[in-house]
Structure 1
Amino acid sequence: MNRDRRAWRRCSLGGAVFAVCMTGTTLPTPLYGLYQDKFGFSELTVTVVYAVYAFAVIGVLLLTGNVSDSIGRRPVLLCGLGCAAASALCFLSATGLGWLYAGRLLSGLSAGLFTGAATAYVIELAPPGGRAQATFVATAANMGGLGCGPLLAGVLAQYAPWPLYLPFAVHFTLVAASAAVLLWLPETVRERQPLSTVRPQRPGLPAQVRPVFGPAATASFVGFALFGVFTSVSPAFLAQSLDVRNHAVGGLIVALAFFASTAGQLAVGRVGTDRSLPLGCAALFGGLALLAGALRWDVVWLVVLSALVGGAGQGLSFRGALSVVAEASPPDHRASVISTLFVVAYAGISVPVIGVGVLTGPIGLEGAGLVFIACMGVLITASAGYLLRRLRALPEQAPTR
Structure 2
Amino acid sequence: MTPRQQWRPGYPVAAGVFAIGMAGTTLPTPLYGLYRQELGFSELMVTVVFAAYALGVIAVLLLAGHVSDEVGRRPVLLCALGLSAASALCFIFEGGLPALFAGRVLSGFAAGLFSGAATAAVLELAKPGQEGRAGFAATAANMGGLGCGPLLAGVLAQYAPWPLTLPFLVHLGLLAVAAVLTWLLPETVGNPRRARLRPEGLRLPPEVRGVFTPCAVAAFAGFSLLGLFTAVAPSFVSRTLGVDNLAVSGAIVCTVFLGSTLGQLLTGRLGVRRALPGGCLVLVAGLVLVSTSLAVRSLPVLVIGAVCGGIGQGLAFRAGLTAVGAAAPPAHRGGTISAFFLVAYLGISLPVVGVGALTLVLGLRGAGLAFSGCVIVLVGCVGLYVLRRPPAEE
* Normalised-by-shorter TM-score class: over 0.9
Does residue 42 (structure 1) correspond to residue 42 (structure 2)? The answer is: yes
Specify the alignment match of 1:177 in structure 2: 177
CA change 1:327–1:74 in 2 (3 A) is: farther
How many residues align structurally?
389
RMSD over aligned CA atoms reads 2.3
Specify the alignment match of 1:136 in structure 2: 136
The alpha carbon displacement at 1:330 in A equals 7.3
Specify the alignment match of 1:218 in structure 2: 217
Specify the alignment match of 1:349 in structure 2: 348
Partner Cα separation in structure 1 for residue 70 and residue 225 of structure 2:
34
Instruction: Give the stretch that moved more between structures: 202-211 or 116-125.
Output: 202-211
Does residue 114 (structure 1) correspond to residue 127 (structure 2)? The answer is: no
SS of residue matched to 2:10: helix
Structure 2 regions of 5+ residues with no counterpart?
1-6
Specify the alignment match of 2:82 in structure 1: 82
Partner Cα separation in structure 1 for residue 11 and residue 325 of structure 2:
17
Partner Cα separation in structure 2 for residue 21 and residue 127 of structure 1:
24
Asked if structure 2 preserves the Cα contact closer than 8 Å seen for 1:135 and 1:323, the reply is no
What is the one-letter code of the residue matched to 1:220? A
Does residue 386 (structure 1) correspond to residue 363 (structure 2)? The answer is: no
Partner Cα separation in structure 2 for residue 82 and residue 206 of structure 1:
36
Partner Cα separation in structure 2 for residue 72 and residue 332 of structure 1:
21
CA change 1:357–1:301 in 2 (3 A) is: same
What is the one-letter code of the residue matched to 1:230? F
SS of residue matched to 1:134: helix
What is the one-letter code of the residue matched to 2:253? V
SS of residue matched to 2:383: helix
- The CA deviation string for residues 14-68 of structure 1, in whole angstroms up to 9 with x for no partner, is 1111111110010001111111111111111100010111111111111112222
Asked if structure 1 preserves the Cα contact closer than 8 Å seen for 2:201 and 2:335, the reply is no
Partner Cα separation in structure 2 for residue 384 and residue 367 of structure 1:
26
Partner Cα separation in structure 1 for residue 204 and residue 353 of structure 2:
29
TM-score w.r.t. length of structure 2 = 0.92
Instruction: Give the stretch that moved more between structures: 321-330 or 153-162.
Output: 321-330
What is the one-letter code of the residue matched to 1:58? I
Does residue 373 (structure 1) correspond to residue 372 (structure 2)? The answer is: yes
Partner Cα separation in structure 2 for residue 240 and residue 249 of structure 1:
14
The alpha carbon displacement at 1:329 in A equals 6.2
Instruction: Give the stretch that moved more between structures: 172-181 or 261-270.
Output: 261-270
Asked if structure 1 preserves the Cα contact closer than 8 Å seen for 2:53 and 2:107, the reply is yes
The alpha carbon displacement at 1:164 in A equals 0.5
SS of residue matched to 1:186: coil
Asked if structure 2 preserves the Cα contact closer than 8 Å seen for 1:43 and 1:360, the reply is yes
Specify the alignment match of 2:4 in structure 1: none
- The CA deviation string for residues 363-398 of structure 1, in whole angstroms up to 9 with x for no partner, is 11111111111111111011112211222x75xx8x
Asked if structure 2 preserves the Cα contact closer than 8 Å seen for 1:66 and 1:200, the reply is no
Asked if structure 1 preserves the Cα contact closer than 8 Å seen for 2:39 and 2:96, the reply is yes
CA change 1:20–1:44 in 2 (3 A) is: same
Partner Cα separation in structure 1 for residue 28 and residue 281 of structure 2:
30
Partner Cα separation in structure 1 for residue 78 and residue 32 of structure 2:
28
Specify the alignment match of 2:3 in structure 1: none
Asked if structure 1 preserves the Cα contact closer than 8 Å seen for 2:9 and 2:186, the reply is no
The alpha carbon displacement at 1:117 in A equals 2.2
The alpha carbon displacement at 1:336 in A equals 4.9
Specify the alignment match of 2:298 in structure 1: 299
Partner Cα separation in structure 2 for residue 321 and residue 284 of structure 1:
14
The alpha carbon displacement at 1:219 in A equals 2.2
Structure 1 regions of 5+ residues with no counterpart?
1-6
- The CA deviation string for residues 335-358 of structure 1, in whole angstroms up to 9 with x for no partner, is 654433221111001110100011
The alpha carbon displacement at 1:334 in A equals 6.0
The alpha carbon displacement at 1:274 in A equals 2.8
Asked if structure 2 preserves the Cα contact closer than 8 Å seen for 1:8 and 1:127, the reply is no
CA change 1:25–1:218 in 2 (3 A) is: same
Q: Report % sequence identity.
A: 56
Specify the alignment match of 2:54 in structure 1: 54
SS of residue matched to 2:95: coil
Does residue 11 (structure 1) correspond to residue 11 (structure 2)? The answer is: yes
What is the one-letter code of the residue matched to 1:24? G
The alpha carbon displacement at 1:325 in A equals 4.2
